[in-house]
Amino acid sequence: MRIRVALQRALGVLAVLSCWLALAPSPAQVFAGRPKLIVIVVIDQFRGDYLNRNRDQFKGRGFNLFMKEGAWFTDCYYDYANTKTAPGHATIGTGAYTDGHGIESNEWWDASRSYELKVSSVEDERYQLVDLPHDSIPANMPGAPGWATKWVVGASPLNLRATTLGDELRLATVGRSRVYGVSLKDRAAILPAGQAANGAFWIDTASGHFTTSTYYMEHLPEWATAFNAGGRAEQAAREANAEGTTQFYELVGRTPAANSYELDFAKALINGEKLGQSGVTDLLVVSLSPNDIQGHQFGPDSDFEQQMILSLDRDLDNFNTWLDQTVGLQNVWMALTADHGIAPIAGEAAKLGVHAVAVDMDKVYDTLNVELNKRHSHGAKLGYLLPDPDLPYIALDSRTFKKAGVDEKSAEDEVAALLPAAVASQNPNPLPVLKLLPPTVVQPSQQRLPPAPHVQYVYTRIQLANNQLPPSEWGRLLAHSYAEHGNWFVMMVLDAYQMAGTGQFAGTNHFSPWDYDRHVPLAFYGTPFVPGEYHEPVAPVDLAVTFASLAGVNRPSAAVGRVLTEAIKPAGASAQR
Ligand SMILES: [Zn+2]
């Protein structure tokens, strides 16, 4: 009797097992993996004209791999207005804009989470950073040194509302494809890789050692621990003349030494995780941060920028050659792009006569607050705006407006109406009132007067949310820029080449819908592509969609891009790959 029960149980287990085996997809049912590896190289803050400016000086198979052996699109523009790092990287991964992927800026005010601090696009207090060097452990983590004061939380793609190319590869292969992101910056490693990524690695800003978040893993993989222990960060610091620094991100991160440092980590990752060896398509996104860190300081026209580009050309030649010798370039598809462009330093553009000017937003805020206090709180000194403006967004303090009995629509309409005059009041040389009969004949000025700060347009959150936008190209750019994050705000766009800043030569920025902020390179390398220089207007959303189509997987969930068929070989030719 007992034997019969045991037998029945065993048969039952077998039946369940065979049923499960029948349901589990066999390798043949899942995606037939090709190529072995996709590598997307993102250069942080790399304007679309940089390749053309320097093309005569490129050597080897760095940028030339994309420009001479690949399909190079010279006219690639983001189709949205908030040209920042986090939304740009999210767009590269998802093939969608902010209205699809949910990332509006690098950080934003979220009244539902905090009135004290902005929320970063990837911070997530449910997770912790992993395997930090002892001196970098923050005050809120076990093992912190006694003097630690910084409070640092983990990170995840919690705000990313769309899937990426990597996510779709993982879904198509039932998890067999492996997907990774690498950058100096957390947001640039996490967002383009996606929700289902196996890992994203970025640096501890003090030491330069790579870390990750418990969202992905409890500890760094052995190869990453070995990389951190191998003295490579210290070598990069020496190359950057910053030996022994505890400000790796700022002092080493802004030099070419950090590009080769990141690419060496990418090589260690490909080796350590055996990418390209599992019979399905793996994906690696490498976002190279140094150009952005130095670019904000010195601008696109400095000698530093050119040195960075030519040095990166050599680093990419080295990386691409290594990739050829290990995985084999015939097995790899690659793409090159950037998360946004950049404006020239305002003072430099103004020298040429362009109406470029840096606008002191603290003074604009003071002017606005004085007027709002006059209207709503009898001249008190209440703050109606949340501090630290991050254009194009101006965040309102809904608590102060609510106390004054002003609702969101009225508050946003009022700030939008006040902004143009508040910005114009920063002009030290306002236009004189035109008189019908001038008392004296006006002579042409011997020297051009300084440019006047000017607001091109302002839209309120409510207008953006309800698509109350002009039926024009501008309206489309704005509609693509909206995501709901629980804050009251207005979106302000200054005239072209005008930006927030404390001096005409105090650095530069990217944040606007103007073409120089939206123009980035887009180039592909791999057997499916017809080499050539293409001048059709394209957008970074086309990258993920084109790769998804060629790989035969679903495009990412909110993707709006186009398959770039003009650069793809006829089916017969690509089938031979
Ligand atoms: Zn960036």
Q: For 15-24, how does the pLDDT look when each residue is reduced to its tens digit (9 = 90+)?
A: 444 444 445 5
- Taking the centre of ligand 1 as the mean of its atom positions, its distance from the CA of residue 273, in whole angstroms, is 27
Percent of the chain topping pLDDT 90:
84
For 481-536, write each residue's pLDDT tens digit. 999 888 999 999 999 999 999 888 999 999 999 999 999 999 999 999 999 999 99
Q: What is the mean pLDDT of residues 458-472?
A: 96
CA of 413 to the centre of ligand 1 (A): 31
Residue 127: pLDDT over 70: yes
Give me the pLDDT at residue 307, please.
97
Helix (H) or strand (E) holding 108: strand 107-108
Ligand 1 centroid – CA 83 distance (Å): 8
User: H helices of 396-486, where?
Assistant: 398-403, 408-424, 461-465, 473-479
Ligand 1 ion: nearby residues, β-carbon < 5 Å: 44-45, 85, 292, 339
Q: How many angstroms does the Cα of residue 288 sit away from the middle of ligand 1?
A: 9
DSSP 307-337: HHHHHHHHHHHHHHHHHHHHT-GGGEEEEEE
Q: Which residues pair with 73 in a beta bridge?
A: 522, 534
Mean pLDDT of all residues belonging to the chain? 92
* Other residues' Cβ atoms within 10 Å of the Cβ of residue 537: 11
Secondary structure letter of residue 103 according to DSSP? -
CA-based nearest residue to 455, from 420, 485, 489, 488: 420
Cα 7 to ligand 1 centre (Å) = 64
CA–CA gap between residue 569 and residue 535 (Å, rounded): 17
Residues in the chain: 577
What pLDDT shows up at residue 445? 55
Q: From the CA of 447, how far away is ligand 1's center (Å)?
A: 36
Give the pLDDT confidence of 534-560 residue by residue, as tens digits: 999 999 999 999 999 999 999 999 999
The confidence score (pLDDT) of residue 16 equals: 46
The Å distance, Cα 209 to ligand 1 centre, comes to 21
Higher pLDDT, 430 or 341: 341
Q: Compute, in angstroms, the gap from residue 441 CA to the centroid of ligand 1.
A: 50
Tell me how far the alpha carbon of residue 188 lies from the centroid of ligand 1, in angstroms. Answer: 8
- Evaluate if pTM is beyond 0.85: yes
Compute the distance from residue 57 Cα to the ligand 1 centre, in Å.
25
Give me 437's structure tokens.
Answer: 């009969």
Q: How many CB atoms lie within 10 A of CB 199?
A: 22
pLDDT category at 395 given cuts 50, 70, 90 is: very high
**Dihedral sign (CA 104, 106, 108, 112):** positive
* Dist. CA 21 → ligand 1 center (Å): 46
Three-state secondary structure of 19-82: HHHHHCCCCCCCCCCCCCEEEEEEECCCCCCHHHHHHHHCCCCCHHHHHCCCEEEEEEECCCCC
Q: Is 577 a residue whose pLDDT tops 50? A: no
> Residue 180: which of 197, 192, 195 has the closest Cα?
197
**Residues 254 and 294: beta-carbon distance below 8 Å:** yes
Ligand 1 mean position to 337 CA, how many Å? 12
DSSP state letters, 494-517: ESTTEEE-SSTTS-----SSSHHH
